[in-house]
């Protein structure tokens, strides 16, 4: 179900409304308008000199047990770069150096019976060689893997599959 379909009453005046997925949610009685726009998330491809990339195994739903890149949702007031740096600290305890924009891709995040539209922004970064990642918030395990050898079926979200495909077209990878 879309986020809009959960509004059975106007959040301003309480008038009952027929749930639908039309954006924005507008109350016929009072005219209140609520925009439920796409949210932003970010993910990072941290590559070592040997070409291996840092992957995590998700500990939590959605997609618990699948492989992903460190990253997460952008909080209010953050840039996507700031959010990615925060997520790397929170998930694997790493401070990122220079970031390079790779691509963006739409995604759907299914959580508690709601399908949220998300736009994922992906960046690349080079590992300095001093990183010692630790499985922290929402991370079951950590792996340094050759991105060419990762089975796309093991990845948590189609947007990650897309980002890795884009990454592998870079010559040389960043």
pLDDT recorded at residue 50: 94
pLDDT recorded at residue 173: 64
8 A C-beta contact, residue 41 and residue 71: yes
Short-list 117, 142, 133, 145, CA closest to 50: 145
116-127, pLDDT tens digit by residue? 899 999 999 999
In this prediction the pTM is: 0.88
Could you tell me which CATH number the domain at 39-168 has? 3.90.79.10
Q: What is the mean pLDDT of residues 28-53?
A: 93
Higher pLDDT, 72 or 22: 72
Check pLDDT > 70 for residue 84: yes
Any idea where the domains of the chain sit in the sequence?
Answer: 1-36, 39-168
């Amino acid at each position: 179900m879309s986020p809009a379909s959960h509004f059975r009453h106007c959040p301003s005046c309480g008038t009952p409304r027929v749930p639908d997925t039309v954006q924005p949610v507008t109350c016929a009685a009072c005219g209140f308008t609520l925009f439920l726009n796409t949210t932003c998330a970010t993910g990072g491809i941290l590559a070592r000199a040997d070409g291996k990339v840092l992957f995590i195994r998700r500990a939590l739903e959605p997609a618990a047990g699948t492989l992903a890149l460190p990253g997460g949702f952008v909080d209010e007031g953050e840039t996507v770069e700031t959010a990615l740096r925060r997520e790397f600290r929170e998930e694997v305890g790493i401070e990122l150096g220079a970031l390079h924009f790779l691509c963006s891709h739409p995604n759907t995040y299914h959580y508690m019976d709601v399908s949220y539209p998300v736009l994922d922004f992906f960046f690349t970064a080079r590992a300095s060689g001093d990183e010692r990642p630790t499985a922290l918030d929402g991370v079951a395990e950590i792996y340094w893997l050759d991105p060419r050898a990762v089975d796309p079926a093991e990845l948590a979200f189609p947007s990650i599959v897309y980002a890795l495909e884009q990454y592998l077209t870079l010559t040389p990878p960043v």
